[in-house]
Structure 1
């Protein structure tokens, strides 16, 4: 049985160590399984408390993907076992995943995420929490949940709201794929370093004189990464999001979700990236569209911990409702790309159904993530 995550501690010149975690499921594009989460969480906790560990690096095996998302097929099987009802495996998976994401966000040492290749869904949930988030020339990042009847979870309520110019709402509604420049522009990444420089980064980190002052260690790592970014910048791709900034602001300026969706899908523009985003929204779930819009509205002033608490309720209900199961069936199981969505348009969606998704599942003190942010 191959380890789903490989752990290694590299000794630096001054005796400190770098903790390296590698998602080891190359064939599934390092999809984040429950077993991976159960390996990562305790190891990260241990490294956080180990004074000899100065920096942590999280990466994916192979060159194709850091992590292409959650273990959606396993979640599908859990939903199929509990059709139209509460599925305990759904709650268990998302509870563990959000705890892991929160730990990365609040990690008290420099935490590097090497976001090479595909970074989607659950992969982005881990990447966005890092203190030093690296993208490369092959980075392809998306929250494409509208295509499977879900919504941008893993902290999307928090980080999509932090993006400039209503980009978060646009990316959440369309599931549009973005590149390294887009990731930097929207605040999902910190550094652009070409993939061939990863070993150079590691080699240089091994020579750094890491100390016991965390803020200084952050600065030392910044210096190393800044130099490598300067050497990489000639390969930085053009930002699709920045190029379409004006039209994104225009189409997302409506007063209601129906106005916004109608504006996105009807605006005439000759841009392949934007046109692909329009197509994804047209074929996506109307329920997902409503969930995206409302999660960002209600989450505007929420803390990160409260965003995860909100999302756990939404995700458990997505597992119960049936839209998520149908979306996964059409895209990944039967692969007919013909999902039978509950509603044929945003306008025709029953708002009482959307209200049900946002109705609290637990009393505050009984919430599975009640202790998040209070440890």
Structure 2
């Protein structure tokens, strides 16, 4: 069985809606290089096919849209290949796919139900119409594996209200459907039960104006879904707290401020736990990455992320984080620096040096 399924659905006016279905349910549809290499040529082909009016991006099963990139495969490749050639190929092709989705000329509807993390966030956030449901659970928890929020995270975290992106990037705190709508990570809430109704309504539409056709359908389904929608948004409710706790000139100030808070609030305690157990090096990388990319274009962001991701694969922090949490699962990563005070700024700077004369994404 293929790790990606492609389906076509005829519309009443002779056009076609196409579907990309991630099909690796056992791994929570973790995005593999094989998946990427199947999806990219299909999107390129559909771009030039006048019969195709819209793309649906979804997944098999109900647990997850996509729980992240296939970092275990990257870890294994790094272990066998000290030059990290597989990792460079993976990130180059993944970011090319993400950029393609961001800049696609036809509507791409992402059904972001269930778990949406890491690489799944990269896929979803490029789509023109991003749907969350009552089961959506979003996060960028890379700090726990010694990485940083990539796949365009530097772009969408920097575009969130206030300093919410910085806080969520550093802590990896989860987001529900209401959070996603508040933060600009989603466009519509639709009940999970209306998935089939969405497809049938899209098929019944007139496709003179593709974006208008999609909006008509999704708007109606969103209205139908209001009884299932919970407006409770922990991020919105903690907005003032986030602004206060991140108002520091150094990442050490932020972390010390967060860890000094005494609270029974589970959301705050979740953030404290992640920061306490996360990689001190990754915390520094995340803070600096968001600073250097703040005013970059989308393409420049992906080029900058490729540099940082490849460098992460050439140092030991990221592989050690994957080993501890996802391979050996001993939950005891041996971070290079034990505390933030130990982190060598000159060592951090090395991660931002390009290993190439010309970035592989320069012609993207």
Q: Same fold (TM over 0.5)?
A: yes
Partner of 1:219: 212
Distance 1:63 1:323 in 2: 33
Partner of 1:247: 241
Does 1:369 pair with 2:358?
Answer: no
Partner of 2:306: 312
For the Cα contact (< 8 Å) 1:30–1:60, is it kept in 2? yes
Structure 1 residue 315: deviation in Å? 0.6
For the Cα contact (< 8 Å) 1:135–1:189, is it kept in 2? yes
Distance 2:300 2:320 in 1: 28
Query: What does 1:1-375 align with in structure 2 at a 5 Å threshold?
Result: 2-82=1-81, 85-211=82-208, 216-237=209-230, 238-363=232-357, 366-372=358-364
**DSSP 3-state at the match of 1:75:** helix
| C-alpha distance after superposition, 1:206-246 (max 9, x if no partner) | 010002xxxx3212211211111112122223111001011
Structure 1 residue 261: deviation in Å? 1.5
**DSSP 3-state at the match of 2:53:** strand
Distance 2:165 2:229 in 1: 22
Structure 2 gaps of 5+ residues are none
| C-alpha distance after superposition, 1:146-173 (max 9, x if no partner) | 0000100000111100000201000000
Structure 1 residue 49: deviation in Å? 1.0
Distance 1:95 1:350 in 2: 28
Distance 1:244 1:282 in 2: 20
Distance 1:197 1:261, change over 3 A: same
For the Cα contact (< 8 Å) 1:86–1:316, is it kept in 2? no
Distance 1:347 1:167 in 2: 24
Distance 2:268 2:125 in 1: 23
**DSSP 3-state at the match of 1:7:** strand
Distance 1:208 1:319 in 2: 47
Distance 2:177 2:65 in 1: 13
TM-score, normalised by the number of residues in structure 1: 0.95
TM-score, normalised by the number of residues in structure 2: 0.98
| C-alpha distance after superposition, 1:34-70 (max 9, x if no partner) | 0000000000111111100001000010000000011
| C-alpha distance after superposition, 1:275-303 (max 9, x if no partner) | 11110111000111011100110101100
Distance 2:224 2:276 in 1: 41
Structure 1 residue 274: deviation in Å? 2.0
Structure 1 residue 204: deviation in Å? 0.3
Distance 2:259 2:152 in 1: 26
- How many matched pairs? 363
Q: Return structure 1 stretches of 4+ with deviation > 4 angstroms.
A: none
Structure 1 residue 345: deviation in Å? 1.5
Distance 1:339 1:141 in 2: 24
**DSSP 3-state at the match of 2:126:** coil
Between 22-31 and 255-264, report the one with greater CA deviation: 255-264
User: What's the C-alpha RMSD, in Å, of the aligned pairs?
Assistant: 0.9
Structure 1 residue 133: deviation in Å? 0.2
Distance 1:234 1:298 in 2: 42
For the Cα contact (< 8 Å) 1:327–1:339, is it kept in 2? yes
